[in-house]
Structures are given as C-alpha cells and as structure tokens.
Copies of this chain bind each other. A is one copy, B any other.
Amino acid sequence: MKNLYVSIDPYQVNRIKSFSSSQSAINFATRVTPGTAFDAYGVGKVVVSGNPEFEEGDLVVGLITWGDYTVAEPGAMLRKCDSMGFPLSYQVGILGFSGLTAYAGLFDICKPKKREKVFVSAASGSVGNLVGQYAKLFGCYVVGSTGCNEKVALLKEKLGFDDAFNYKEETDLKATLKRYFPNGIDIYFDNVGAEMQEAAVANMKTFGRVVVCGVISEYTNAEKRAAPDMLDVVYKRIKIQGFLVADHMSVYQDFLQKTCNYLHGGEIQVLEDISSGMESIPSAFVGLFHGDNIGKKIVQIAEE
C-alpha cells in the first residue's frame, strides 16, 4: 500500500521506553526497538495485492507504518475504507480511534447524566476536544484545560465549551478547579495525569468518575505521578478507571451513526492539524509533547 495519512499519537512514546511494566500486557503497545518500523493507525491505497479481498486502488484503513509504503502481512489489522463522503483524513481522527476513544470513554465508562459537570484535560487535543463536544451535545456542563490562550479561546468560541482555562497560568490547580466547579465535578476525563488528576479528585463530587484515557504529562517524566488523596476516593466513593478503546467496539456503530449525523448537521467541529510529508513525522510526534498540535495531529504522507 501507498501510505496516505498516518495518525500521530502520544502513546507511541511508551513503546520506545526501555521498560514499562504494562508493555507486555497488550500487543499494540509492544516495544519498538531500533531498526524496526513504527506501526500506526492510518489510511493507505493498495498498489499491489496478493489477497483477493483487496484490489489495486482500494483505500484501506488500519495499522500501517511510519513510512512511504506498507507491506501488509496476512492477518494484518486492515479493512476497506468507506469515506462516506467525508475527507479521508477523518478516518484517522474523528471517525477513527480518536473519536471512538472520546465516545466510549465518556459514554461507556462514565455514563453521564444530563446537566452533570464534566472536566476534560488536554481539551484541545485529538480526544479531548471531542469529549467536550460530545458532552455538550449530550447536555452536560463542560470545562476544559489546555496549554495556551489561543486554545482557550478556541474551546469557548468555536467548540462551545462552557468554559476553559490555560493551566500554565494557574499556580494552584485545586483552587482553579474549585473556581470553575464551585459545586464539584461529576466526571473528569483525564488525558494528562499527575497534579491535574490530583486537583480533579480533590474537587470531585460524591460518586464522581475519573476515566483515565492517557497521562501525557507522565509519559516523558518518570518522576511525575498522580497521587490522588485516597481519603477523597473513599469518602466520596470515587471511581478511577483506565480503559483502552479496543475493549469498547460494542459502541462502534452507535458512535459512527451519531458522529456522522453530527457532522452532517454541522453540530460538531473537526479539529485537524495536518502536516505534510514523511519527513514531518518526527517533529509532529515530538510536538505532541509540547502542545504544538491543535486537535488531531495527522501526517499526510502522499496525495490521494
């Protein structure tokens, strides 16, 4: 296949660490060693096929590699791609695992009720921006945290968040969240971990739910760890739950139908941050950890 679009995701950094206790647990996060290619979610076009299910020119979506071409082995996690009239890049973001992650984490794990108060961190990121939008469309009150004022404005003005703040301008995150949620948080969608998670737990309401989607601030700093107050966890009966989207494929049809409807109705905004060319992958990847991206980071490797 000729690779067209490839998804740039923070979790990949965990695959190049020398050791993680969890790496052996799941095959998509197995260690990448020097000399082997990264595999990543993306869209490609079949150039030559020895498999009767795929023909030259077919668009496919699934695990491709960081490179110009992918050689798919039998049994590869790939399927034919139906763009449904949307830009092909959507397959990598809002209609791909980023969208499904946001949808499943919010609805399948947290089971929100209308008017509940939702806090999402890394709120202009690939998953966070969709969590906030889904929660708003569902009828929740949503506040997001992000790392610059331009993104704060975007969340409030373009994405319809009820409020948003720049965490880099705050010195006491517990007090910050108290200001934005004077009566407490029902759901915290955690994309960052560390002190933000601690501050959120301190501000949770009773029966609050913390869904841990990722902890980007801890990925590149082994010293950083969330140490939420377990007295809060007990007394407020808080649930902290990690998840991987692959366990929630049961909501896929529901996710796809709702999201397509929102897209057709113009009710959901698509935040894509697309770089061009194979050679931009390293900087795109590193940029994730500096907050360079706004929305889903994608590299377009070739023209369709």
Contacts and interface: CB of A to CB of B under 8 A. Distances in A.
Interface of A: 14, 20-23, 25-26, 29, 190, 193, 197, 202, 206, 212-215, 218-219, 225-244, 247
Given A218-B231, A226-B227, A231-B14, A240 B237 contact: no
Contacts of A23: 235
B234 A215 contact: yes
12 contacts: A20-B235, A22-B231, A22-B234, A190-B230, A193-B230, A212-B234, A218-B231, A233-B241, A234-B243, A237-B241, A239-B241, A240-B240
Given A212-B234, A225-B227, A226-B228, 20 more contacts: A14-B231, A21-B202, A21-B231, A22-B232, A22-B234, A22-B235, A23-B235, A26-B206, A29-B235, A193-B230, A215-B230, A225-B229, A225-B230, A226-B227, A232-B242, A234-B242, A237-B241, A237-B242, A238-B242, A240-B241
A110 to B, nearest CB: 12
Contact of A213 (B14, B25, B190, B234): B234
State the 3 A-B residue pairs at the shortest beta-carbon distance, nearest first.
A22-B235, A233-B242, A227-B227
Most buried by B among A29, A190, A239: A239
Contacts of A26: 206, 235
Contacts of A212: 230, 233-234
A21 B234 contact: no
Contact of A237 (B197, B227, B244): B244
A218 B241 CA distance: 22
B236 A22 contact: yes
A242 B240 CA distance: 9
Most buried by B among A14, A212, A234, A237: A234
Most buried by B among A215, A227, A230: A230
A238 B21 CA distance: 14
A230 B206 contact: no
Contacts of A202: 21
A185 to B, nearest CB: 13
A150 to B, nearest CB: 28
